[in-house]
Amino acid sequence: MSRTFLAVVGLLYVFMLAPLVVVVVVSFNAGTVTDFPPSGLSFRWYAYALSLDLYVNAIITSIWLGLAAAALSMPLGLMASIGIARGRFPGRDALQAFFLAPLATPGIVVGIALLVSYAAVGLRDAPLRLLLAHVLITFPFSVRTILASLSRLDPSLEEAAATLGASPAKLFWRVTFPLIQPGIAAGAIFSFVMSFDNIPVSIFLTDVHTNTIPIAIMSYLEYNLDPSIAAVSSMLIVGSLALALLLERIFGLRRVMGM
Amino acid sequence: MAAVSLRRVSKRFGAVEALREVSLDIGSGEFVTLLGPSGCGKSTTLRIIAGLTMPDDGSVWIEGSEVTRVPTYRRRIGMVFQNLALFPHLTVAENVAFGLRMRHMATSREPEMVTSALEMVRLAGFEQRYPSQLSGGQQQRVALARAVVFNPDVILLDEPLAALDRNLCEAMQQEIRDLTRRIGITAVFVTHDQEEALILSDRIAVMNQGVIEQLGTPTEIFDAPCTRYVADFMGATNLFEARVKGMNEGRLMLDAGGITVTASTTLDLSVGDRAHLAIRPERIELTLDKPAAPAFALEGVVESALYHGTISTYRVRLPDAGNATLVICQINRERKVASGSLEPGTQVWVSWAPESVYVMAK
């Protein structure tokens, strides 16, 4: 590889990673303003962030919401994917496009649509509103990852199982499911991340008592600009890095993304 | 009672007629090969016996009961797939035991049955390996053990040797033949390789465009092809159109492109009928001088000569027969003409015995 190429690659990395590095450095600021470079180093903003109910409650909400959304959208996605991948019925392609449609719809449109719809049916409970919305957001990701695993699965494996006497149910649990399990797990982790990170839909559905962490950061930012935001962001960076490493370690990120 | 019967089975895929009223009876313990080029319907036939493809018409019978609408997992069949389809997430022992577990057979005797199946294919000691840790030939043998361990009524083999290199392929042919004969299982084998079919089979069904062109023993198929297609597929490259001229002492006289050929046949042909003639390349003698013994000989000119090691093949043009070319194959050890003396352009004599000519009605 030539020097120029390496230099370009290096610059790209700097371009992508520099803001993250700045955030992490700022989070260790000892002063009261988001100085860069910081005037002194301390953990005080971490302690402060974790003492605020706003952040702590939002983190808890985001975690349970992500877990619940992933747990619900996985079985739904699994059933939808198997129907699309194995079924032979008219409108199969249309159904697939429909299931993946939320991926291509602007989040803000989904958010407004849900806000209006919830109002129409009188659904006021914020946790439930968020959960339903996040199942909708994560569902296309589960369909996408599980479909990718199913299409990589050699159909003759299922045929072989049938010739060996496996009924359709046994065939699924003994052959298909174990073989697409990495895809299912990866889809679940993905769904969790997508839910955790969501702003455009969530922003319409939170209330005073139920906030997700990105929304909490935004509302805090409206009246304050201190390094506690950087501290929370740094914690999220570490968390998502850990998840990405986990993904890479178990399945290889490339395969998970369906690339 | 036949172990496997197909009765007037038809199958279409869209506009393509994959099978046209195919009927076939396979005896118990018989090894039958479905032979033909890709797209001839041989794999479809096998998949219909397995229940992996549903026929549009006709019926399928296994051991005397109709199974046409019985799902695959309720048929007592074992199958070896072209890509083997070993379960990558299971060990060798678990792969072999899969059929036993699915069929609720032998819970206490399972380890014993798995071990003896693996011994049968000389893979004892490999129980705990995963398929990816085995060589191609070993994977092949696991697939074989997995397909026979639960004692199915019939084993179906879909071009299982296509992916192997030549030496391994020959060893596996031997292995498959020995194994199926030893356990006396009925086998249906699909291949496009005529040599493989000849080596393995009790009977061969040569298929073409969704029909069985000829069903017979390897010698019948090889020595007495009944259609031009079968003759061609079995490597009888010298095929001629002819017209019956007359009969002479129970032998047929045919006019083929200007020359008169004598042949013996059991076909009921009369003067004026059209027929095809086939002469296998190795049945033709090639000499520099006019041979004395067979009265029938033609002059020819060598067009090309190819040396294959054990054999040599020659293309010889026959000016007296409208410049038709013959492919002639000679075993180099037995060759009557010294090597190097058959350069292109050499004048030669070709001759054959009347018994070497096969007459086909179509």
Residue A248: both structure tokens together: 């890479």
Residue B108: both structure tokens together: 């206490």
Spell out which residues of chain A touch residue B85, defining contact as CB-CB under 8 Å. 154, 156-157, 159-160
What is Dmax (Cα atoms) for chain B?
Answer: 76
3-state secondary structure of B61: strand
Asked whether the predicted pLDDT for residue B342 surpasses 50, the reply is yes
Mean pLDDT, chain B, rounded, equals: 88
Q: Of A156, A165, A168, which is closest to B81 when you measure between CB atoms?
A: A156
Asked whether the predicted pLDDT for residue B69 surpasses 90, the reply is yes
Binned average pLDDT, 10 residues per bin, chain A of 259 residues: 89 92 88 78 88 90 94 93 87 86 86 93 90 93 90 92 94 92 86 90 88 90 86 89 80 53
Task: Answer whether B158's CB lies under 8 Å from B43's CB.
Answer: yes
Task: Answer whether B160's CB lies under 8 Å from B121's CB.
Answer: no
pLDDT, tens only, B181-226? 999 999 999 999 999 999 999 999 999 999 999 999 999 999 888 8
Spell out which residues of chain B touch residue A156, defining contact as CB-CB under 8 Å. 81-83, 85
For chain A, say whether B73 makes contact (Cβ under 8 Å).
yes
Asked whether the predicted pLDDT for residue B106 surpasses 70, the reply is no
Q: What is the dihedral of CA B206, B209, B210, B215, to 10 degrees?
A: -20
**CB crowding A9-29: b at 16 or more within 10 Å, else e:** eeeeeeeeeeeeeebebbbbb
Give the chain A residue whose CA is nearest to the CA of B85: A157
DSSP one-letter string for A214-236: HHHHHHHHHH--STHHHHHHHHH
**Distance (Å) from the alpha carbon of A161 to chain B's nearest alpha carbon:** 8
- Interface test mutation site (partner A, options B49, B102, B130, B146, max chain A beta carbons within 10 A): B102
**Cβ–Cβ of A174/B98 closer than 8 Å?**
yes
Q: What is the dihedral of CA A152, A157, A159, A161, to 10 degrees?
A: -140
B21: enclosing H helix or E strand: strand B16-26
Q: Of A163, A166, A178, which is closest to B89 when you measure between CB atoms?
A: A178
Q: Of A163, A174, A175, which is closest to B79 when you measure between CB atoms?
A: A163
Write down the pLDDT at residue A124. Answer: 86
Give the chain B residue whose CA is nearest to the CA of A173: B102
Report which of residues B129 and B105 the model is more confident about.
B129
Residue A63: both structure tokens together: 């975690």
Residue B331: both structure tokens together: 């075993």
For chain A, say whether B261 makes contact (Cβ under 8 Å).
no
Task: Answer whether B358's CB lies under 8 Å from B275's CB.
Answer: no
Spell out which residues of chain A touch residue B87, defining contact as CB-CB under 8 Å. 157, 160-161, 175, 179
Chain A interface, Cβ < 8 Å to B: 154, 156-157, 159-168, 170-171, 174-175, 178-179
Q: Of A157, A165, A174, which is closest to B85 when you measure between CB atoms?
A: A157
The radius of gyration of chain A from alpha carbons, rounded to an integer in Å, stands at: 22
CA distance B96 to B154: 17
Which domains does chain A carry?
52-210 (1.10.3720.10)
Task: Answer whether A129's CB lies under 8 Å from A170's CB.
Answer: no
Asked whether the predicted pLDDT for residue B100 surpasses 80, the reply is yes
Flag whether the ipTM exceeds 0.85.
Answer: no
Asked whether the predicted pLDDT for residue B341 surpasses 70, the reply is no
Residue in the block written with tokens 């919830």: A118
Write down the pLDDT at residue B337. Answer: 61
CA distance B73 to A204: 52
Q: Of A154, A163, A171, which is closest to B78 when you measure between CB atoms?
A: A163
Asked whether the predicted pLDDT for residue B147 surpasses 80, the reply is yes
For chain A, say whether B77 makes contact (Cβ under 8 Å).
yes
3-state secondary structure of A137: helix
Non-local CB neighbours of A69 within 8 Å, separated by 6+ positions: A131, A134, A135, A137, A138, A191, A192, A195
3-state secondary structure of B347: strand
Spell out which residues of chain B touch residue A162, defining contact as CB-CB under 8 Å. 51-52, 71-73
Report which of residues B341 and B30 the model is more confident about.
B30
Write down the pLDDT at residue A37. Answer: 80
Q: Which residues pair with B359 in a beta bridge?
A: B277
pLDDT, tens only, B278-328? 888 888 888 888 877 666 788 889 988 888 888 888 899 988 877 888 888
Tell me the H-state helices in chain B: 42-50, 92-102, 110-120, 136-148, 166-183, 194-200, 218-223, 228-233
3-state secondary structure of B87: coil
DSSP one-letter string for A66-104: HHHHHHHHHHHHHHHHHHHHH---TTHHHHHHHHHHHHH
Task: Answer whether A150's CB lies under 8 Å from A143's CB.
Answer: no
DSSP one-letter string for B270-297: -TT-EEEEEE-GGG-EEESS--SSSS-E
**Distance (Å) from the alpha carbon of B53 to chain A's nearest alpha carbon:** 11
Task: Answer whether B253's CB lies under 8 Å from B243's CB.
Answer: no
Q: Of B52, B98, B150, which is closest to A159 when you measure between CB atoms?
A: B52
Write down the pLDDT at residue A253. Answer: 55
Tally A–B CB contacts below 8 A.
66
pLDDT, tens only, B244-290? 888 877 788 888 877 888 888 777 777 888 888 888 888 888 888 88
For chain A, say whether B81 makes contact (Cβ under 8 Å).
yes
3-state secondary structure of A166: coil
**Cβ–Cβ of A164/B150 closer than 8 Å?**
yes
Give the number of other CB atoms < 10 A from CB of residue B42. Answer: 28
For chain A, say whether B79 makes contact (Cβ under 8 Å).
yes
List the one residue out of B348, B354, B357, B318 whose CA is nearest residue B330. Answer: B348
CA distance B187 to B162: 17
Mean pLDDT, chain A, rounded, equals: 88
What one-letter code names the amino acid at B130?
Y
For chain B, positions 130-159, list CB contacts with chain A under 8 A.
146-147, 150, 156
Task: Answer whether B326's CB lies under 8 Å from B236's CB.
Answer: no
For chain A, say whether B102 makes contact (Cβ under 8 Å).
yes
Strands (E), A50-198: none
